[in-house]
Amino acid sequence: NEDFLKHSSKNSENPKGMNMYEKAAYYGKYKKAWASQGHFNYRQVCLSGALPEVELLLPGNPNKTLISVVSNDYLGLSQHPDVKAAAITAIDRYGAGATASPAIGGQMDYHQAVEQKIAAFYRQQSAILFPSGYAANVSAMQALFKKEDFVLADDSIHASMREGIKYTTQVKTFNHNDMEHLENMLKLIAGKYRSVAVVVDGVYSQPGDIAPLRDIIWLCKKYGAFLVVDDAHGVGVIGKTGRGVIEHYDAWDDVDLITGTFSKTFGHQGGFVVAKPEIVEYLQFHAAHHTFSVALPPTIACVLESIALVDREPQHMHRLWENLNYLNSGLKGMGLDTGNTTSAIIPVITKDAGLNAEVCRLLLLEGIYANQIGYPAVSMNYARIRMAITASHTREHLDRILNAWAAVIKKVKSIVKK
Ligand code: PMP
């Protein structure tokens, strides 16, 4: 089993010499082998009830109420009455779906208003919407960067960015947040390509740390590189008024392309790109997931409310930070390794896939539903339990989480940092 896992983890996606059915069967065997080691199969989890307190329906474990730390609803806005009301009004007005792509009739006044509002949120003039944050990243990167260009990407960028730059342009990664490495690479390729882009996340979705954006901006200016920042996890969390890393670093005019999602802090779904009008107009025609895919449903109108609520009700962000500080210091106090997080993502790093699975299983028994993160989301030896904390968690929830970790530590002493 061990040998099979070691071998198959590298080959499970694309084993050689197999037809589609054999390939799928091989993957099934791989998944079973993982499951036999106690790994949690996330597709078997079915949530019911409102987050963050959820009922987790698992085979053989029905109706157990767990504390969830898997939602990215950082300010709790998906549950906000004003946000829900706006979605309902929009459905009443337009129906349930947009039913055509923005290019051929699916664009509504709601979409236009959201584009203007999210652009203004970042003190810019233009934005463009996509079916998801994932689609925004894939599509914008593929539309902009071609084989004549060169992209330097942080090695920890989100899968969607990686997907976006993988096929159409030339790419190299630099070590996570390593500015010396980035500068060396910029030096090496200077003047050799039509254009050079640097692609980073604002907040990194697995470690929860943030990009050293000031240094990155300085390097981009020095070497004439185009800067792309995906701040999916920064908005609503970082910056004095929740404008993410852009505000944190006072970088309003220094980033060429900001990408993000409405699926986390804004409590709904859909992706966006904020950029100068000429770039946005280019994307309106060339970004396939915008041009050829259906426009976001009318419920996107609810995002007008959630964007406004970031300013109107700052108490949610304050509450979030109280929660984060309380939980993080509690976990650190127990000797757990939460890395360098400065965001709503708190990882507990185990560096061992087997240990990770066991810890996650024990947490679940203690009533905590956390994400078990391993390859391919992070490299093999950076396995971690990932918790996303929101403003909706109460002090009682947080104490239950800390108590659960204390109970797990008693059983698995090796997760405590030496
Ligand atoms: N970027 C980052 C950094 C993310 O973490 C995610 C989602 N996990 C996305 C983009 C994609 O967003 P969406 O879920 O809206 O497709």
Q: What is the pLDDT of residues 96-149, one digit of tens each?
A: 999 999 999 999 999 999 999 999 999 999 999 999 999 999 999 999 999 999
Going from N- to C-terminal start, the domains of the chain cover 35-68+314-415, 82-312
Instruction: Return the SS3 of 116.
Output: helix
Is the pLDDT reported for residue 204 higher than 70? yes
Band of pLDDT at residue 353, cut at 50, 70 and 90 = confident
Band of pLDDT at residue 5, cut at 50, 70 and 90 = low
What CATH number has the domain spanning 82-312?
3.40.640.10
Nearest CA to ligand 1 atom 15: 133
Main-chain phi, psi angles of 71, to 5 degrees: -90, 145
Using one digit for the tens of pLDDT, what is the confidence trace for 72-95?
999 999 999 999 999 999 999 999
ipTM over 0.95 threshold: yes
Substitution site in 78, 134, 201, 296 for ligand 1 pocket (most atoms within 8 Å of beta carbon): 134
Q: Which residues of 32-71 are buried (b: 16+ CB within 10 A; e: fewer)?
A: ebbeeeebbeeeeeeeeeebbebebebeeeeeeebbbbbb
Instruction: Report the pLDDT averaged over residues 226-241.
Output: 98
**Ligand 1 atom nearest residue 157's Cα:** 3
**Ligand 1 atom nearest residue 205's Cα:** 5
> What does the pLDDT read at residue 9?
60
Beta bridge partners of 171: 151
Query: How far is the centre of ligand 1, averaged over its atoms, from the C-alpha of 199 (Å)?
Result: 15
DSSP 219-252: HHHHHT-EEEEE-TTTTTTSSTTS-HHHHHTT-T
Query: How far is the centre of ligand 1, averaged over its atoms, from the C-alpha of 270 (Å)?
Result: 10
CA dist list (Å): 110 to 81, 93, 341: 19, 11, 36
Instruction: Report the pLDDT averaged over residues 5-21.
Output: 73
> What does the pLDDT read at residue 55?
60
Residues with C-beta less than 6 Å from any ligand 1 atom: 132-134, 137, 158, 160, 201, 205, 230, 232-233, 261, 263, 271
CA dist list (Å): 208 to 73, 202, 340, 415: 15, 10, 7, 19
Query: How far is the centre of ligand 1, averaged over its atoms, from the C-alpha of 229 (Å)?
Result: 12
**Ligand 1 atom nearest residue 160's Cα:** 10
Cis upstream peptide for 297 (omega within 30°)? no
Nearest CA to ligand 1 atom 12: 133
CATH superfamily, with its number, for domain 35-68+314-415: Aspartate Aminotransferase, domain 1 (3.90.1150.10)
> Catalytic amino acids?
205, 233, 264
Is the pLDDT reported for residue 367 higher than 90? no
Residue pair 249/214 in contact by the 8 Å Cβ criterion? yes
Nearest CA to ligand 1 atom 13: 133
Query: How far is the centre of ligand 1, averaged over its atoms, from the C-alpha of 292 (Å)?
Result: 20
Instruction: Report the pLDDT averaged over residues 141-167.
Output: 96
Substitution site in 245, 261, 345 for ligand 1 pocket (most atoms within 8 Å of beta carbon): 261
Query: How far is the centre of ligand 1, averaged over its atoms, from the C-alpha of 36 (Å)?
Result: 30
Structure tokens at 115: 């584009």
Is the pLDDT reported for residue 58 higher than 90? no
Please enumerate in sequence order all residues whose Cβ is within 8 A of that of 402, keeping only pairs 6 or more positions apart, or say none.
Answer: 327, 330, 331, 334
Query: How far is the centre of ligand 1, averaged over its atoms, from the C-alpha of 414 (Å)?
Result: 32
Widest Cα–Cα separation across the chain: 62
